[in-house]
Amino acid sequence: MDILLAHGYFLHDDPHELKIMKPYPPLGILYISAYLKSQGFDVGVFDSTFSSLEAFQAYLARERPPVVGLYTNLMTKRAVLAIARLVKEAGGIVILGGPEPPYYAAEYLARGADIIVKGEGELTLAALLPHLARRGLNQLEAVAGIAFRDGDGQVVETPPRPFIADLSAHPWPDREAIDIPQYMRVWKDHHGQSSISVIHARGCPYTCKWCSHSVYGNTHRRRTPEDAADELLWIKERYNPDLIWYADDVFAINHRWLFQYAEALKTRGVRIPFECISRADRLNEEVVKTLADMGCYRLWNGSESGSQRVLDAMDRKVQAQDVQAKTHLLQRYGIETGMFIMLGYEGETIRDLEETVEHLKKSNPDIFLTTIAYPIKGTPYYAEVESRILASRPWEDRSDRDLTVAGRYSRRFYRFATRWMVNEVALHRAQTNGGVSLKRRLKLWANARIGRAGMLLTQGSREHQGRPLHEQPAGL
């Protein structure tokens, strides 16, 4: 084995996901596995989702991989540090990638990592593995796109590696390397329908200040519509899922691509119900109709706030009124609407919270999820509040989600604010939906309560480590 790829997410250690039970596989390392195998490397994959640290340790002792690559985000940080210690004890080389390590390179390198991969992982690992086989950890400055410590213990960052220009020239994720049917069974057992995730694009060109671009910068690149449709056809024939989750950051960003993709799916006879994320400003009636015809049953929208002042401070480049209008447009075409609401952004006042409640009442989304803003290192938001960031625990025992900002309302305040927001919206629905059936009203009320649980953080982000539900690819 040339390299073992793993990701350090253990579902049974995640109390939030145990309540939700909507896990998705780690597409990032599966993309890397597929590419490295296509280049002739011997690759192992340890999918920790349904496993344990003890099982990983046993696998490590049995297989003795010389190199272990770990996808790392703020959710998996503690587990990754524990895995790194095990790998070092076994004599292996530890490589970390993903959205979390680049801005904390010194900290990770001081705690067991040998190399940090910055940006996409495929091309960098393809260059790095032969170097390690020939020279070990010597002369690493010859490899682009990494950080490491030199002989004096100083952190060295090599020049960045160019992004992959043609995503369709690379293979699809190596789904056969892990037990995809197990994910489908969990979905089926808990929700009555199985689901599989796909991603056809990398990166987001928008400039929201709280969102991390540590893996892809501000690029946006897509697979061709034909290649993407071929993958969906293969998934249908191989796994036949009930649902698809499109994990693209903004699925409907490119209208020409979307229309071509819809036609390519139709030509192949593929129509699988799906949910996705988009933005209000990338929706119009033709786009929404196309999404509905394709089988979109739910669309998530990063509304974030009902206060235009806060939206502008975030550099969201979206209008609250447009979000309301597009929410109603989606519902007219039978598409459920989900919203993300962020509380506590810099400068937010009680008046802004009140405007967000009014925004939710006017929009009337089927479900909304709340999170409290937290500063992610490397983002403009982090830079703005850095002098006031407070950490209550040592670095290795916390993540950026645990950071607070001096001068902001307390976490307790936001817990009450969220409860008030949910109850206000639920009451408004009960008062204005008199003609709606009891079953429908109960569903709306239940969805509002779900919103109180916060972001559905499973494998990934809002940085994008915590955007609901999932993950971006190939960050190792």
Q: What are the residue ranges spanned by the domains of the chain?
A: 3-157, 193-451
Q: How far apart are CA 427 and CA 421, in angstroms?
A: 10
At residue 62, does pLDDT exceed 70? yes
Decide: residue 235, CB within 10 A, 0-12 exposed, 13-18 middle, 19+ buried.
Answer: buried
At residue 427, does pLDDT exceed 80? yes
Rounded mean pLDDT of the chain?
Answer: 91
Per-residue confidence (pLDDT) for residue 217, from 0 to 100: 83
Among residues 313, 356, 319, the alpha carbon closest in space to that of 210 is found at 313
Topology, domain 3-157: Rossmann fold (3.40.50)
At residue 456, does pLDDT exceed 80? no
Long-range contacts of 124-129 (CB under 8 A, 24+ apart): 124/161, 125/3, 125/32, 125/36, 125/69, 125/95, 125/476, 126/35, 126/36, 126/39, 126/41, 128/95, 129/2, 129/3, 129/36, 129/41, 129/67
Per-residue confidence (pLDDT) for residue 432, from 0 to 100: 84
Task: Return the DSSP state at 436.
Answer: S
For the domain 193-451, what is the CATH code?
3.20.20.70
At residue 178, does pLDDT exceed 60? yes
Confidence of residue 468 (pLDDT cuts 50, 70, 90): very low
Give 301's contacts (C-beta < 8 A, 6+ positions apart): 277, 278, 279, 280, 323, 326, 327, 337, 338, 339, 340, 365
What pLDDT, in 10s, does the model give residues 246-271? 999 999 999 999 999 999 999 999 99
Order across the sheet with 274-278: list the strands. 195-198, 243-246, 274-278, 296-304, 336-343, 367-372
Q: Which is more confidently placed, 249 or 448?
A: 249
Per-residue confidence (pLDDT) for residue 302, from 0 to 100: 86
Number of other residues whose CB lies within 10 A of the CB of residue 53: 15
Q: How far apart are CA 15 and CA 458, in angstroms?
A: 10
Q: Say if residues 295 and 271 touch (Cβ distance below 8 Å).
A: yes
Residue appearing with tokens 């690759």? 43
Give 397's contacts (C-beta < 8 A, 6+ positions apart): 78
Confidence of residue 431 (pLDDT cuts 50, 70, 90): confident
Per-residue confidence (pLDDT) for residue 83, from 0 to 100: 97
Burial 285-311 (b: 16+ CB within 10 A, else e): eebbebbbebbbebbbbbbbbbbbebb
Predicted structure pTM score: 0.90
Q: What percent of the chain has pLDDT over 90?
A: 87
Report, as an integer, the average pLDDT of 67-93: 96
At residue 177, does pLDDT exceed 70? yes
Tokens of 352: 């802004």
At residue 439, does pLDDT exceed 90? no
Q: Say if residues 336 and 414 touch (Cβ distance below 8 Å).
A: no
Q: How far apart are CA 265 and CA 288, in angstroms?
A: 16
Q: Which is more confidently placed, 435 or 284?
A: 284
Per-residue confidence (pLDDT) for residue 63, from 0 to 100: 96
Q: Say if residues 468 and 369 touch (Cβ distance below 8 Å).
A: yes
Among residues 75, 67, 72, 74, the alpha carbon closest in space to that of 96 is found at 72
Q: Any idea which of 100-104, 315-319, 448-452, 455-459 has the lowest mean pLDDT?
A: 455-459
Per-residue confidence (pLDDT) for residue 450, from 0 to 100: 45
Q: What percent of the chain has pLDDT over 70?
A: 91
What pLDDT, in 10s, does the model give residues 140-157? 999 999 999 999 999 999
What pLDDT, in 10s, does the model give residues 15-57? 989 999 999 999 999 999 999 999 999 999 999 999 999 999 9
Confidence of residue 447 (pLDDT cuts 50, 70, 90): low
Report, as an integer, the average pLDDT of 116-122: 96
DSSP letters, 372-421, are: E--PPTTSHHHHHHGGGEE-SS-GGG--GGG-EETTSPPHHHHHHHHHHH
User: Hey, do 3-157 and 193-451 end up sharing a CATH topology, with the first three levels equal?
Assistant: no
What's phi and psi for 383, nearest 5 deg?
-65, -35
Confidence of residue 437 (pLDDT cuts 50, 70, 90): low
- CA end-to-end span of the chain, whole Å? 18
Report, as an integer, the average pLDDT of 155-174: 96
Report, as an integer, the average pLDDT of 313-321: 96
Decide: residue 374, CB within 10 A, 0-12 exposed, 13-18 middle, 19+ buried.
Answer: buried
Q: How far apart are CA 414 and CA 348, in angstroms?
A: 12
Q: Say if residues 187 and 22 touch (Cβ distance below 8 Å).
A: yes
At residue 395, does pLDDT exceed 90? yes
Half-sphere exposure of 453 (CA within 13 A, CB side): 15
